[in-house]
Amino acid sequence: MASSQDSALVAEAKKTRNEPVTYNYTEERDIILYNLGIGATETDLQWVYEGDDEFSPIPTFGVIPQFPASMAVPLDWLPDYNPAKLLHGEQFLSIKAPIPTSGQLVSTAKLLEVLDKGKAAAVTIVVETRDTSGQLVTENQSTFFIRGSGGFGGPRAGADRGAATAENAVPKRAPDAVVEEKTTPSQAALYRLSGDWNPLHILPEFAAIGGFNKPILHGLCSMGFSGKHVFQKFGAYKDIKVRFAGVVYPGETLVTEMWKEGHKVIFTTKVKERDSIVLGSAGATLIDDADKAKL
């Protein structure tokens, strides 16, 4: 979206119109596979059995249909762009309507914000996902840091976009709920079947190039686990935001600590074995009675 503060390079890049991307999916092939990929088990029938009366996707499934559209936005106009130096920094998902359990969704992506961090660029891509009637189902905002691609001018700090940019500072008290869940050694191999085929998550030699001693778990998979924990403890939410602060190796244990502050659940997620935070500045806005009436 155009900004008067944008450099000429960014202003020109924002004029690019990206083609809509269609996502076709079924209950058995896609919804259940995603739910399993973020830790649902055979006892969670509402998530793994299509015949259950309450069958549904875990809310963070909303990051999946938009993913191909987000990844298709060109970034090679950035100076010294190297895709190997791209890091997924933050993710914000806003659920605008109930996510269908099967069907066709269409996503349209565009550049929302581009910041010059000096030695890096911070690029936020917004994707609107609609059903075939045109109803807006989800909006995603994905922020990527591209090391070595700064110096093009323009703003260094971003605009306030409400829940999408909230810092979600952790309250100075014990958490209201804690969920501990161990991932499996094959977690990344399973999760990648939902559409993120980056070899960083499966090939040891590729992971080594990135500086890791073995393949790492997808950040959006860790977000899914935590989103599931929030849902289990506090119920449905209309948006969720995380900052990716560290890596998880498949087989490690995720610990989600949650604090309820009004209609918001603030949370952090850490790896138990290394006492290392992997999701920070994280929060989810719960659905209240007025929201339920609209849905």
* Four-CA torsion 59, 61, 63, 66, nearest 10 degrees: -120
- pTM (two decimals): 0.95
pLDDT digits (tens, 9 = 90+) for 237-289: 999 999 999 999 999 999 999 999 999 999 999 999 999 999 999 999 999 85
Same fold, 8-162 and 177-294: yes
What are the boundaries of each domain within the chain?
Answer: 8-162, 177-294
Tokens linked to 41: 């088990």
The percent helix, strand, coil of the chain (3-state, each to 5) is 25, 30, 40
Tokens linked to 139: 């909006």
Tokens linked to 152: 């093009």
pLDDT digits (tens, 9 = 90+) for 60-81: 999 999 999 999 999 999 999 9
* Four-CA torsion 84, 85, 86, 89, nearest 10 degrees: 140
* CATH fold group of domain 8-162: Thiol Ester Dehydrase; Chain A (3.10.129)
Measure the CA–CA gap between 69 and 67, rounded to whole angstroms: 5
Tokens linked to 193: 């079947």
pLDDT value at 91 more than 80: yes
- Asked if the 177-294 domain carries CATH number 3.10.129.10, the reply is yes
pLDDT digits (tens, 9 = 90+) for 29-57: 899 999 999 999 999 999 999 999 999 99
Measure the CA–CA gap between 114 and 124, rounded to whole angstroms: 6
pLDDT digits (tens, 9 = 90+) for 170-209: 999 999 999 999 999 999 999 999 999 999 999 999 899 8
Q: Which residues are catalytic?
A: 196, 201, 216, 219
Mean pLDDT of the chain: 95
pLDDT value at 162 more than 50: yes
Whose tokens are 């994280």? That residue is 282
